[in-house]
Structure 1
Amino acid sequence: MKYGICPISIAPLRSETSDSSEMVSQVLYGETFKIIDTRKKWSRIRLSHDKYEGWIDNKQITEIESEQYHSILKGHKQFSRDLIGHITHNDMTLSTVTIGAQTSSCTFLNDQYSLNQPETISYDKSNLIENALLFLNAPYLWGGRTPLGIDCSGFTQLIYRMNGFDLLRDASQQATQGEVLSFIEESEPGDLAFFDNNEGAITHVGLIMSDNYIIHAHGKVRIDRLDQSGIFNVEKKVHTHKLRVIKKIL
């Protein structure tokens, strides 16, 4: 088995071995993975934190030894909390990284992180909404996981990951985690609300806020009203998503 780590700010994870293939997710700086298949220009990887699979350009991989891989997994994790931060490489050149980059991996890449905000994980549920608000107005991007472009489940996953809990990647997968709540009134800020389409498939997720508001990625990261029917768009004055289930994760 081969192992790798992402040495660049953001690497697209694709469904097929082509630059024009659908981007199913993104790999952020410092995130680790198993390399489960290798082609001439591409490798199929399985991410450590959510077991999500896809193809990544070989030029965007740094291979690491098994001992390093497992050391990173067992070690204390730290994440960038600046929307945009900077990594200094051995040759003194700089790279930008986004919020959520796994900066505790710097040692294994011989890099240094310019720390402006505290990186430590607090495991405090109250921080979820505070972190989520940093993404307000970030544009929607299918497969995205950064404030430069993010999808609904990438948004919830990244917020939870920064606070010590690894959600699965897709909304339908995240809906299998946690404890079901019967009513919105039972929920707390930071709980997750899931929404389905006309066929009953879960296709959307958002973070519940206080006073029946929800923050979610739909066109952009935005705040709307939440009721027993679903999400009520405060600008268009219509319901845009049909509520399926509410889950308490932490």
Structure 2
Amino acid sequence: MSALLDRRLTPVRPDLAAAHLRGLVDAPRFVEGRAMQVTEASAPLRRAPATDAPLETEALYGENVTVYDDGEEGWAWVQLERDGYVGYLPLIDLGPPAKPTHRVAALRTHVYPGPSIKLPPMMALSLGARATITRQERDFAVTADGRYLWARHLADAGSHEPDFVAVAEMFLHAPYLWGGRTSEGIDCSGLVQAGMTAAGVAAPRDSDMLEATLGEPVPLEAPLMRGDLVFWKGHVGVMRDEGTLLHANGWPMAVVSEPFAEARARIAASGGGEVTSVKRLAGL
């Protein structure tokens, strides 16, 4: 399926489409989007405008989105700037856009109403969240609206981590959550995407997208190495070394590190099939 026809990445519905798709898709109405930003620690992007609709992914604090419609009561139909995913976010979780200056580099960090770690936190931000910092006060970075973040948990927005696997390893033992992207819950492709985004790689959201777009094929019988991505149908993991796989999966319902041979045998025995490919990214 081409990206243009993929409902996950194409802002088109039976009743409207994004203006830039005019002439490419059929729609009764085309609209220009407007920029907004996520103002909650994380916001659920759902397939339909309902709290019980499937969770597709999550948008993190400070991420920019394009809103194409907010006519559904309490919901905005959006496209995420980070990876192009399309779906419905709670409108209450969005606010005016700003240009982030920093990213959260710790697995999780608290946001305080003032410059003291003894104050009750307002929220907790996960790795990869964005913040617009206007000044520093002692050990705290301060946002324009007076929120205080521990400065040593932040990095410049344009900086990159040298080892995407090391970033993914920070999530070890985090709970598994379908569609999750935070330390409170993350899925297999979200784990890989989190590491790669921190390393400056524009990684798509889902495992089939990752398999189709990233890296060069490696023969499965060849020696594997740290950073190799291993794919099954609907699943992805990353090698920590020649024989150890890191992945978020529904068997232990957590991010685990285990011998690749054991994981491969268990996945095959449980109906998950055989490995479909191994991909290696140059320079990572």
TM-score, length of structure 2 as denominator length: 0.71
- Give the SS at the match of 2:123: strand
Contact 1:232 1:239 in 2 (8 A): no
Same amino acid, percent of matched pairs: 23
Distance in structure 2 (CA, Å) of the matches to 1:109 and 1:56: 23
Q: Comparing 81-90 with 51-60, which one deviates more in the overlay?
A: 81-90
The answer to whether the Cα contact below 8 Å between 2:45 and 2:87 also exists between their aligned partners in 1 is yes
**Deviation per residue, 1:30-57 (Å, 9 max, x gap):** 1111112212311011111100011011
Q: How does 1:107-126 map to 2 (within 5 A)?
A: 107=143, 111-117=147-153, 119-120=155-156, 121-124=159-162
1:193 is matched with: 230
Contact 1:180–1:245, Cα closer than 8 Å, also in 2 = no
Unaligned runs of 5+ in 2: 1-32, 134-141
1-structure distance, mates of 2:107, 2:187: 16
User: What value does the CA root-mean-square deviation take over the aligned residues?
Assistant: 3.0
- 2:255 alignment partner AA: V
* 1:32 has 2:28 as partner: no
Partner of 2:108: 84
State the distance in 1 between where 2:207 and 2:273 align.
13
Alpha-carbon spacing, 1:225–1:153, altered in 2? closer, same or farther (3 Å): same
- With over 3 angstroms needed to count, the CA separation of the structure-2 counterparts of 1:47 and 1:244, relative to structure 1, is same
Moved more, 29-38 or 181-190: 181-190
C-alpha change, 1:99 and 1:145, in structure 2 (3 Å) is same
Q: Quick one: distance in 2 between partners of 1:142 and 1:79?
A: 24
Partner of 1:49: 82
Cα deviation, residue 186, structure 1? 5.6
Does the aligned pair in 1 maintain the 2:160–2:200 contact within 8 Å?
Answer: yes
Q: How many residues align?
A: 231
Post-superposition CA distance 1:189-214 (Å, at most 9, x none)? 12211112xxxxxx001111212211
Give ranges in structure 1 of 5+ residues lacking alignment: 197-202
Q: Match for residue 200 of structure 1? A: none
Q: CA deviation at 1:188?
A: 3.3
Please report how far the alpha carbon of residue 89 of structure 1 lies from its aligned counterpart in structure 2 after TM superposition: 5.2
Q: Which residue is equivalent to 2:175?
A: 139
Provide the TM-score with structure 1 as the length reference: 0.80
Supply the distance in 2 between the matched residues of 1:36 and 1:89 (Cα, whole angstroms).
33
Structure-2 separation of matches of 1:151 and 1:109: 32
Cα distance in structure 1, aligned partners of 2:147 and 2:179: 27
Shift in alpha-carbon separation, 1:21–1:144, aligned structure 2, 3 A: same
Stretch moving more, 77-86 or 142-151: 77-86
Instruction: Name the structure 1 match of 2:41.
Output: 9
- Aligned mate of 1:222, from 256, 266, 269: 256
TM superposition shift of 1:108: 6.6
Task: Provide the rounded CA distance (Å) in 1 between the counterparts of 2:35 and 2:144.
Answer: 13
Greater relative CO, 1 or 2 (CA 8 Å, sep 6+): 1
CA radius of gyration, larger in? 2
**Which residue of 201, 204, 207 corresponds with 2:235?**
204
Distance, in Å, in 2 between the alignment partners of 1:88 and 1:208 is 37
Note if 1:154 corresponds to 2:190: yes
